[in-house]
Structure 1
Amino acid sequence: MIRVASVGDCMLELQARGSGWALGHAGDTFNTLWMMRALLPSEAETDFVTAFGDDPFSDRQRDFMAAHGIGTAASPRLPGLRPGLYAITLDAAGERSFTYWRADSAARRLAEDPGALRHSFTRRDLIHVSGITLAILTPAARRILRDELARARAAGAKVSFDPNWRPALWPAPAEARAAMTELLKITDIALPSWPDEGALFGDPDAKACCARLMALGVREVALKLGAEGAWIAAPGTCGQTVPACPGLTPLDTTGAGDGFNGAYLTARLSGEAPVPAALIANRLAGMVIGVYGALADPEALRRCRAEARLTPGPATARQSD
């Protein structure tokens, strides 16, 4: 049985709809796990590792997760705290702008108890984290998280990491670079985005970005290129560009990269090679941008996955120089 965990912050999501607002639940690592839960076999174990408050909104989040087959492992409940909140507004092209209220989010304390994290990470095949996970933690809590991830990795788990740099969450770019670099040293699968990586680390192009990551010990990189698809670098794959699905008109780009992550990781856990996994992930990410909010309907995701092409041909994946 496949056992995965995703670590981070699930927030309350307010999505502008006409003259009103729709309330949902989302956050980058939760969105990734949502995709994985939809695509993995029903018997797979999927847990979201975070910290909850003791308020009605936290109760609502836990109920929502349970109703969709997502566990919470040893995630603590902390008195007096509550979930973070963010609101999304969209322009005519479906591009997003965000307003956040997360200063007292319970998830900021998810790594304060090493024993709880260790329990949550036990006997995992994969543990997924992001730069946002790191950004909301104190430096001491980041060290605890890294230590427990390293312990789980030594016991057989793979670690996947999406740097997902959000400048507003970090005191300075140098702190983000340092924290992410330390995490990348114990990362098996990196899922960064371009041009964010170039902006933060100074990489001149996608090839240089992948080379930097692999020099740190990362074995596999799926670099998201937005509308251009993804660049895949892995043992046996000397750099291949996998184009995005053509002819897509985005309704809402919220969660597209997270959906790619979840579909890619699921395909890899299911035995697909990196390039076919990226083809599948591009197809599923294309579906995510066709719905409002970060979470597409699980049954629709499964149908889309069943229709996805499994092996690349000359027209869909090209060798890069």
Structure 2
Amino acid sequence: MDVVTVGETMTLFSPNEHGQLRHAHSFSMKFAGAESNVAIGLSRLGHKTRWISRLGEDEFGDAMEAFIRGEGVDVSFVTRDETAPTGVFFKEFRRPNDTRVYYYRKESAASRMTADYIKEEAVKGAAFLHLTGITPALSDSCQSVMDKAIRLAKANGVKIVFDPNVRLKIWKSEEEARRQLKHFIAESDIVLPGEAEAAFLFGKKEAEAYPEDFHVLGAKTVIMKIGKKGSIVSQKGGAVDHVSGFRVERVIDPVGAGDAFAAGVLSGLLDGLSMAEAAKRGNAMGALVTMVNGDVEGLPNRADLVSFMDGGLDDVKR
């Protein structure tokens, strides 16, 4: 197994019209969750991935598990809950570059996950454990899930990759979010923040100054997204390197770009690329996803990714 990831995926209803959600009359049903997005992105690039979660014993859960399994992701450690539903959320395309999301996930099956659901055999043997800051925001029991997954990873020599993925709507408070996120950053080998997330955690400053804040907490490697400018890479004790991005002429849907970035970075590391080369692959994956409506619909296979990075798409410039 290359990458194991743990977290909630929800049924996504995406309106077929642009504008305020109140005016939408028809929707497309899809599935989206940061952790499963990463697992699917890696699977499409030929890597072996496993997604651990809990679903409701309902039609949404049945459809979701079948979809993710169909993408080549191992779902053998996904459990079902007869008393709680699979989470749901809605997207709203108000206008260009203004996409909003509305969650209906309180008391969902995934939010009721406990540490007992994380088995050593699910983590052992993987190269990386991928986690995000969404999972601990769901409930106190989900925080214990994260702690156990990290403990098992460390015991089995599995590197921990953490994406803060700040979603303030689901945290009890900003103070709680900062405290918990810093706790998990301290436990991680590689951290994949966005510049805005770094500002939330450490205050406003120049992008190149943020990696040291993560290193002080304990993170060995920081690969930070800085929007259209690309990303910056920093390993503890080394210099901060800038990795240029890909300019997209027309952004259709930015949601999911960060997950694609994570998949690209992990794919690069699994392939033995340098940190900078892996970040470049992450930049490309993130750019590709923004050109398609949906979290996973724009995730490429390996041939398409190579073509894109070689300049094979007309509406993207290096």
TM over 0.5: yes
Q: Which runs of 5 or more structure 1 residues have no equivalent in the other structure?
A: 311-315
C-alpha distance 308-62 of structure 1, shift in aligned 2 (>3 A): same
Contact 1:248 1:286 in 2 (8 A): no
Q: Name the counterpart of 1:40.
A: 46
Q: Partners in 1 of 2:164 and 2:119 — Cα distance?
A: 20
The residue that corresponds to 1:243 in the other structure is 244
Contact 1:131 1:162 in 2 (8 A): yes
Q: Which moved more, 1:147-156 or 1:168-177?
A: 147-156
Q: 1:297 to 1:174 in 2, by over 3 A?
A: closer
Cα distance between partner residues in 2 of 1:37 and 1:152 = 21
Which residue pairs with 1:313 in the alignment?
A: none
| Contact in 2 for aligned 1:55/1:81 (Cα 8 Å) | no
Q: Once superposed, what is the RMSD of the aligned Cα atoms?
A: 2.2
Q: Deviations over 1:27-57 (max 9, x none)?
A: 111111111111134xx2x111111111121
Q: Could you tell me how far apart the structure 1 residues matched to 2:46 and 2:264 are?
A: 9
Give CA-to-partner distance per residue, 1:142-169, whole Å, 9 cap, x none: 1342133123223110111011111111
Counterpart in the other structure of 1:145: 146
Structure 1 174/235 Cα, relative in aligned 2: closer, same or farther at 3 Å? closer
- Structure 1 stretches of 4+ moved >6 Å: none
Partner secondary structure for residue 100 of structure 1:
strand
Alignment map for 1:116-127 (pairs within 5 Å): 116-127=118-129
Identity %: 24
Contact 1:163 1:191 in 2 (8 A): yes
SS in 2 for 1:264: helix
Q: Secondary structure at 1:9's aligned position in 2?
A: coil
For 2:130, the aligned partner's letter is H
Task: Report deviation, 1:100.
Answer: 1.1
User: Compared with structure 1, are the counterparts of its residues 176 and 117 closer, same or farther at alpha carbon in structure 2 (3 Å cutoff)?
Assistant: farther
Partner of 1:14: 13
Distance across 1 between alignment mates of 2:119 and 2:207: 34
Q: Distance in 2 between matches of 1:286 and 1:115?
A: 35
Shift of 1:116: 3.4
Which residue does 1:30 correspond to in 2? Answer: 36
In structure 2, distance between residues paired with 1:113 and 1:211? 32
In structure 1, how many angstroms separate the alpha carbons of the residues matched to 2:167 and 2:221? 23
> What is the identity, as a one-letter code, of the residue corresponding to 1:40?
G
Amino acid in the other structure paired with 1:304: D
CA contact under 8 A between 2:265 and 2:282: conserved in structure 1? Answer: yes
SS of aligned partner of 1:286? helix
The residue matched to 1:227 in structure 2 has which SS? helix
How do 1:116-195 residues align onto structure 2 when only pairs under 5 Å count? 116-138=118-140, 140-195=141-196
Contiguous gaps of at least 5 residues in structure 2: 18-24, 311-316
Aligned-partner Cα distance in 1 for 2:6–2:163: 11
Please say if residues 255 and 294 of structure 2, whose CA atoms lie closer than 8 Å, have aligned partners that are also in contact.
yes
The alignment of Structure 1 onto Structure 2 pairs a total of residues equal to 305
- In the TM superposition, residue 236 of structure 1 has moved relative to its aligned partner by 7.7
Partners in 1 of 2:194 and 2:9 — Cα distance? Answer: 21
Cα 1:174–1:297, aligned 2, differ >3 Å: closer, same or farther? closer
- Shift in alpha-carbon separation, 1:92–1:121, aligned structure 2, 3 A: same
Q: For residues 173 and 131 of structure 1, what CA distance do their matches in structure 2 show?
A: 13
- Give the SS at the match of 2:118: helix
- Normalization by structure 2: what TM-score? 0.89
User: Which one-letter code corresponds to 1:222 in the other structure?
Assistant: I
After superposition, the Cα gap between the structure-2 partners of 1:228 and 1:264, relative to the gap in structure 1 and judged at 3 Å, is same
- Secondary structure of the residue aligned to 2:111 is helix
